[in-house]
Structure 1
Amino acid sequence: MGRLSTHVLDTVRGKPAENVAIELDVLRPDGSWRRLKQVMTNADGRTDQPLLTGDELSTGTYLLTFHMGAYFKAAGVAIADPPFLDVVPLRFSVADENAHYHVPLLATPWSYSTYRGS
């Protein structure tokens, strides 16, 4: 059974990023986006449940949007005004709906990276 999960690491403070707003959208055949979920990260920087599981996950293109500017501001981290990185979009595709796609975000106010985890 396939699933999609994520987590967010605050690499400035060296800890999971709690209370990050995340949106998940899927690309429709007509080129428009459809919102699937809006969630917040927990104390471990993860969502309480996988973002998608089983039949919810299908092949296609997805967009995870992480609201990092608001997170860093609330955490008291010094950031520019306006923030250099405010909203971080990660666009990725699912080729195997039976696989586990883990898409983490490692972030600072000035940079981010991601990878396909397991």
Structure 2
Amino acid sequence: MARARIDETAGRDAVRTVLAASEHTDRTPPDRTVTALAVRYLLQVLAEASPGKSVEVRVPPFGAVQAVEGPKHTRGTPPNVVELDPATFLAIATGSLDWASAVAAGRVHASGARSDLSALFPLAY
């Protein structure tokens, strides 16, 4: 069963809300549902920008997508996995943190020959 598509306006609004809160430390952080919506929306954008099933991108606890053209993975743990916390994913996806810096800082956990996603970020959302 396919996931319900997140409305672009709602997704962009959630991303803007999370980004605004991260830029202003004096603001109350957005609630969990707004952060979850922003992450899921950007995962949707990533999967649409780079369709495929060779890399699984995980942002626990909010979501995961399969993306990147290549050999299709169907069972068990995929050979190419990228896992990031929500703050890191949002920062990379929106361009406030580059992939190489996040990897060097240990904020990206990536395995597999296709797990370098640096060319896909930042996302055009």
Give the structure-1-normalised TM-score: 0.27
Higher fraction of helix: 2
Structure number with the bigger relative contact order (C-alpha 8 A, sep ≥ 6) is: 1
Give the structure-2-normalised TM-score: 0.26
